[in-house]
Structure 1
Amino acid sequence: MTHLPRRTRRPRTALLVAATSATALALAACSGGSSASDGGTGGATDGGDLVFAVQNDPISLNPSGTGSGNDTLYVTRQLVDSLLYQDPKDGSLEPWLASSWTASKDARTFTFTLRDDVTFSDGTPLTAQSVKDTFDDIVKNGAKSLNAIGSFVGLDKVVAKDEHTVEVDFTTPNAAFPQATSQVALGILAESTLRTPYDDRADGTKVVGSGPFVLDHYTKNVEAVLTKRAGYAWAPASFDNTTGAHLDTVTFRVVPEAGVRTGTLTSGQSDVVGGVQPNDVAQLDSAGLPVVHRANPGVVFGLTFNESSTFGKDPELRKAVALAIDPKQVQQAALDDLFAVATSPLGTTTPGYADESAHLGADPDEAKKVLDADGWTSGSDGARSKGGKPLTLTIQWISNFAPNQTSLELVQQQLKAVGIDVRLESSPVPDFLQKLQSGDFDAAWGNSSRADGDILRTSYSSAASNYYRVDDPTLEKLLQGQLAAGDDTQRAALLAQAQERIVEQHHQVPVHELTSILGTQKDVHGVTLGADSRLDLLVDATKG
């Protein structure tokens, strides 16, 4: 499959790298890869120990399991390889563990020819059976494989045709599957891992992949230490170095507080820090420390309603919320120009993105009229009620991105101004997910990253996780239609219609894009963000 065209008038701009002033960090829509140095790694000196400070404990190092988001994937990306690699420059797919692949015209059958020189870190060879067993394991474990199971909707069977050829057959079209195989969640595992009970893989000691690093040890809430794997010679062609990692070790150290993380970089205790907050960028810039950043693809930050709740199932209430929220104010108060105001449910770096800004816009006065017409009357304090019942919206959110609280407190004020009382409920990732599964919420604040427009289906289809209980046959037809489209142009058109439908029906209120920001020491090079705007393979990374 090729990269989906984008229906947008916004120009694509080169990613800014190693910026030397705060002004130079202003970011419009960006779609390229990123690194702390564009000098490549030719002639680089091997060796060195990289300390990478992250915000969250990984929780689980099982690639398809539920972890803590980006910080989990930063670690697991180094342990497991994927069948295909997605180039962050243009979203195209290229060989990795698979030397070639084909897709049937009806997007139901995908055949991958594997390299014959790949081994797992326990010395066993990569075979078609390895791929079959990995995919079958994901399906068998169902909801436990939360990060991966959505890619196998309609799976018929996985067949090892011979030692190095595997075929994946679906009963219904799945045009997004090739891109899905580039994700960490579908990373291929050795038989020794697959024989281990799923719940026993979280600490990573049983996770055996074919990646450039292996796990030395993982201490919960402290660190995960990886060591270089000898003999790694199958990095994707997009990387300069195909003969193994340069670094000897990588230590992912858990440092929850953003300001403390930044301090570890400026004091020299860390070589790279993740989750750099907007208000810390200027500090790094003034210290002359390079910044790596890229806008995230996938569903943007915003409010998504539980449409089985009393609040969420009322389309007029959803419309009023959409009119009351001013994303530009949120961006200016909680973020900076690195974080673009959303122009669609999808971020601008997502293959299949369409500019829906014509259907978006704040209008508090109109929001009040909508609420009036819906029978919600204002009291002396401005709060609205109907039949003696106050108008209250409960928003669930997680604190894994520091500006969330400031953003939501402003959203709370904006909604209060039109008479909607907002209650903010924060919880850890596992509890947040449990709330979504149980349906015990009115709306959720968050985002979801994936470098393919099919994330709209996995987020909003009634046939997928269906956390938001959306019942919209028109939208469902579009989401399933794009998955069935073997032609990229047709698929992009259907995704554009789906984005338009989501904003017109106010299933989601888009607010701002997420941008991944890393800070690095001056002597660190080759640290890049992939097509999903998460940490890419560290095979090119050097220190010194």
Structure 2
Amino acid sequence: MPKLASLAVAALLAGAVPHLTVTPVAGAEPAGPPLTFSWPTNVGPLNPHLYAPNQMFAQASVYEPLVTIRADGTVGPWLATAWTISQDGRTYDFTLRPGVTFSDGTPFDAAAVKANFDAILANRSRHDWLDLTRQIDRVEVTGPLAVRLVLKAAHDPTLRELALPRPFRFVSPAAMGPGGTTANGIKAPIGTGPWRLIGTRLGISDTFAANPTYWGGKPAFARLVVKVIPDPNTRAIALQTGEVDLVYGAAGQIPSEAFLRLRNQAPAFSAAVSAPLATRVLALNSARVPTDDPAVRRAINHAVDKDTLVRTVLDGLEPRADTLFAPTVPYADVGLTPYRFDRAAAERLLDEAGWARGRDGMRAKAGHPLSLELDFVGTNAQQKAIAEVVQADLARIGIAVRLVGEEESAILARQKDGRFGLIFGETWGPPYDPASFISAMRAPSHADYQAQKGLPDKPAIDATITAALAATDPAERRRLYATLLTTLHEAAVYLPISHAVAMAVHRPTVAGVRFGATLNEIPFAAMRPAGAGR
């Protein structure tokens, strides 16, 4: 299906209005210069409680959480100004910020918070990748601006998971679906955030207006126009020609060579790279031949020359990764020994496991060839280039790799149902890492479950995750994380490639561009026209 057609179908299936142009909020577009940005797809219908095709950066621009992740990684107040936690870790009492309204004028109060939690929990099975949705027992209104969250058991990452871009954000109760539901769509994307969606043209653009009643101060730009540009090279050209002011996001939003070229053209362009935010990995399927053999998985980890890959494919913009999480991630600095690039060690592992080379140089065992499939998003040039390097490196030790490039939805389906040998994935960065990410390993919603499914100690791995999430003693929690991460590392079910970063390139017409605390939230409201006051 052509890209534009698939986007339109996805939007319609998700509940978008079946016309080329939709205007959720009545009224003319505000006057003043817009901030123009680009993204590969439309932002979707922007239901805060659902997933694709809703784009997280846009959901986070319209909807807000009770608490937020600060730049230093700690949790801070947002729509809740204060909270207390009971000694047993099961009860959270929140005091809400006074004077906040949704952009349609509806008050943000305890009743609105409860209505949103009720809508989320009515669709609990859709959110079962996030353990907090399973742990919430009930939500109580304890005052006009006071809410109590009662859990079934202590859950250490509760506050961090409440800060996520979805699903625990708040839509106006007046904009919910029939009976206060959101699972089957909302009437309009009405939040408390600094932006409100005022128009969508499928395959072309989405337009946001500054929320004039925003409690945190009206954004300096009157409008935010998100132009749909699927191809990263075309996106770079649009930036150069002035069609867009800003490109921002994970590596791949703009080709690395274009980023480096524009960075060298200061002051015509400003370019920056964030600190590492997540880990780019290949997941290895422990339940599928031949990656069900631990020797094969360990050999693969030794065989890939990641230093050369990072230097040549990623232009040195992302640091090499040796473990699933960077040591800077909470609880992840457990002293794991990396699988260093060592082709001879990889060869020995395969020889000792009985994988013998044939006349063609490829290996086989008991008549079964040592061949596997590496799946990637076909339109992602960066993934394709990395896959080709991995294919060449593994061929040198006698492993045949067939590359399969498919559209993103097909790759996501493979991640969920296990139809892969190797497949691209990433950790989710703050605030998901490590707790939310490991929590999702227990359900077949991402590649991680399938990568671990064939391990004989998978039940013990899942039990360790459950115990770590429920632990109230920090020392015990650290011990459990060390056990878990050591087990996964020794099982070699991941090939860490690099630590993903965010990139920002903008024209001199924009000031105040900075990186957010997470990969999926873009601080548009902090940006301003160059020359405007701070």
For the criterion TM > 0.5, the same-fold answer is: yes
Match of 2:277? 297
> In structure 1, which of residues 407, 429, 435 is the aligned counterpart of residue 408 of structure 2?
429
> In structure 2, which of residues 121, 134, 138 is the aligned counterpart of residue 139 of structure 1?
121
Q: Give the secondary-structure state (helix, strand or coil) at the position aligned to 2:65.
A: coil
Conserved? CA contact 2:427–2:437, under 8 Å: no
Moved more, 379-388 or 472-481: 472-481
Match of 2:196? 214
Amino acid at match of 1:292: A
- 1:318-367 deviations in Å (ceiling 9; x for gaps): 21211212221221121023201013211456344426563331222222
Conserved? CA contact 2:157–2:436, under 8 Å: no
Match of 2:5? none
Deviation, structure 1 residue 399: 4.8
Moved more, 285-294 or 450-459: 450-459
Aligned residues: 484
Distance 2:53 2:309 in 1: 25
> In structure 1, which of residues 152, 158, 166 is the aligned counterpart of residue 147 of structure 2?
166
Deviation, structure 1 residue 493: 4.8
Distance 2:187 2:276 in 1: 30
Q: Using a 3 Å threshold, how does the CA distance of structure 1 residues 485 and 99 change in structure 2: closer, same or farther?
A: same
Distance 1:424 1:527 in 2: 38
Q: Using a 3 Å threshold, how does the CA distance of structure 1 residues 396 and 107 change in structure 2: closer, same or farther?
A: farther
Deviation, structure 1 residue 199: 6.2
Match of 2:529? 543
Deviation, structure 1 residue 495: 3.0
Deviation, structure 1 residue 297: 2.8
Match of 1:83? 66
Amino acid at match of 2:61: Q
Moved more, 169-178 or 54-63: 54-63
> In structure 2, which of residues 59, 63, 81 is the aligned counterpart of residue 99 of structure 1?
81
Deviation, structure 1 residue 143: 5.2
Deviation, structure 1 residue 198: 4.4
- 1:481-522 deviations in Å (ceiling 9; x for gaps): 331233556534543443332212112121111111011111
Match of 2:27? none
Deviation, structure 1 residue 430: 2.2
Correspondence 1:66 to 2:46: no
Q: Give the secondary-structure state (helix, strand or coil) at the position aligned to 1:458.
A: helix
Distance 1:60 1:498 in 2: 38
Deviation, structure 1 residue 413: 0.9
Q: Using a 3 Å threshold, how does the CA distance of structure 1 residues 83 and 360 change in structure 2: closer, same or farther?
A: same
Deviation, structure 1 residue 167: 2.1
Match of 1:251? 225
Conserved? CA contact 1:102–1:110, under 8 Å: yes
Q: Give the secondary-structure state (helix, strand or coil) at the position aligned to 2:224.
A: strand
Amino acid at match of 1:58: V
Question: Which one has more relative contact order, counting CA pairs under 8 Å at least 6 apart?
Answer: 1
Match of 1:230? 212
Q: Using a 3 Å threshold, how does the CA distance of structure 1 residues 54 and 463 change in structure 2: closer, same or farther?
A: closer
Match of 2:238? 264
Match of 2:325? 346
Q: Using a 3 Å threshold, how does the CA distance of structure 1 residues 543 and 213 change in structure 2: closer, same or farther?
A: same
Correspondence 1:498 to 2:481: no
- 1:103-130 deviations in Å (ceiling 9; x for gaps): 2344332222111211111211112232
Distance 1:261 1:78 in 2: 21
Distance 2:350 2:384 in 1: 26
Q: Which runs of 5+ in 2 are unaligned?
A: 1-30
Distance 1:283 1:102 in 2: 50
Q: Using a 3 Å threshold, how does the CA distance of structure 1 residues 193 and 493 change in structure 2: closer, same or farther?
A: farther
Match of 2:255? 277
**What value does the CA root-mean-square deviation take over the aligned residues?**
2.6
Q: Sequence identity, in percent?
A: 24
Match of 1:532? 518
Distance 2:258 2:133 in 1: 40
Q: TM-score, normalised by structure 2?
A: 0.84
Moved more, 328-337 or 466-475: 466-475
Q: Give the secondary-structure state (helix, strand or coil) at the position aligned to 2:386.
A: helix
Q: TM-score, normalised by structure 1?
A: 0.82
Conserved? CA contact 1:133–1:194, under 8 Å: no
Match of 1:23? none
Conserved? CA contact 2:195–2:209, under 8 Å: yes
Q: Which runs of 5+ in 1 are unaligned?
A: 1-45, 234-241
Q: Give the secondary-structure state (helix, strand or coil) at the position aligned to 2:461.
A: helix
Match of 1:181? 162
Match of 2:98? 116
Moved more, 128-137 or 328-337: 128-137
Q: Using a 3 Å threshold, how does the CA distance of structure 1 residues 397 and 169 change in structure 2: closer, same or farther?
A: farther
Conserved? CA contact 1:284–1:291, under 8 Å: yes
Q: Using a 3 Å threshold, how does the CA distance of structure 1 residues 277 and 63 change in structure 2: closer, same or farther?
A: farther
Q: Using a 3 Å threshold, how does the CA distance of structure 1 residues 95 and 541 change in structure 2: closer, same or farther?
A: same
Q: Using a 3 Å threshold, how does the CA distance of structure 1 residues 198 and 360 change in structure 2: closer, same or farther?
A: same
Deviation, structure 1 residue 475: 3.2
Deviation, structure 1 residue 149: 4.0
Q: Give the secondary-structure state (helix, strand or coil) at the position aligned to 1:513.
A: strand
Match of 1:155? 136
Q: Give the secondary-structure state (helix, strand or coil) at the position aligned to 2:497.
A: strand
Q: Using a 3 Å threshold, how does the CA distance of structure 1 residues 144 and 463 change in structure 2: closer, same or farther?
A: closer
Q: Superposed, which structure 2 residues align to 1:480-519 within 5 Å?
A: 480-488=466-474, 490-519=476-505
Q: Using a 3 Å threshold, how does the CA distance of structure 1 residues 493 and 441 change in structure 2: closer, same or farther?
A: same
Q: Using a 3 Å threshold, how does the CA distance of structure 1 residues 47 and 486 change in structure 2: closer, same or farther?
A: farther
Q: Superposed, which structure 2 residues align to 1:465-484 within 5 Å?
A: 466-470=449-453, 471=455, 472-484=458-470
Distance 1:377 1:143 in 2: 47
- 1:171-228 deviations in Å (ceiling 9; x for gaps): 2321111011111102212213432564654xx8622211111111122222111001
Distance 1:290 1:535 in 2: 20
Q: Superposed, which structure 2 residues align to 1:323-334 within 5 Å?
A: 323-334=302-313
Match of 1:53? 38
Q: Using a 3 Å threshold, how does the CA distance of structure 1 residues 266 and 294 change in structure 2: closer, same or farther?
A: same
Deviation, structure 1 residue 60: 5.1
Q: Using a 3 Å threshold, how does the CA distance of structure 1 residues 488 and 517 change in structure 2: closer, same or farther?
A: farther
Distance 1:172 1:493 in 2: 20
Amino acid at match of 1:339: E
